Structure 1
């Protein structure tokens, strides 16, 4: 199964630039333009609703904190519990959770001074797939989430 996820990951890296371009990006107001193809209306439920999404974000941060390529970026900004909470909100909103509002800064504002590279961005994508694998999330369901988040690449990668 790990080799399958490595193949999916390689494909995601290859398509990340393309999907970010095709999917749209953050507007100046910090709102996200719709993705193409659009995220299915049942993506949130397929991910297990609030419980599944919360577990996924916690798994993502587990991998991020173990990942020496990027963990220092997250620890330098502290408040990991707050970062987890905001990411849970963001992911829920991206997948259409009812009654959830993202309360963090826009991706542009939150990452403006960090100097994030494409390599660092891709490390987070890799960790996202590892979290999916841990939760035994079907690859097509995981890809829906990655596709929903891909447009943020333009706002996050600044060098």
Structure 2
């Protein structure tokens, strides 16, 4: 029996390379932190000329990093109290995201912006994005585990 194009079913499989996604989010978080730091330094030093550009860039990077993390904060907020606190701080009519959208950063950095940027980094850490690909030195084996492990090694 011949099959026609209408009889053919196509299946798509997809996955994300976690390390690549983590690096992408890590870069977005670093960009947000760098943009805030640049904006803050420029405003504190009364730098002239590029204030609007720095403000727009800071706004863009901070908002982009937060928006990338919000869906996962929403999904995982019931599993960890810290994630729930961050999600509540960011969302709603008085949340950091809405405040950022309503603020002209060229006029100056509001006090809450520092806390928002710190929470962006904290959220990325808690969700595991800033930990991906890290290597940690192995701890010494537990003495209680050494004997059973040695039995397997001898076999």
Q: TM-score with structure 2 length normalisation?
A: 0.32
Structure with higher Rg: it is 2
- The structure, 1 or 2, with the larger RCO (C-alpha pairs under 8 Å, 6+ apart) is 1
Q: TM-score with structure 1 length normalisation?
A: 0.31
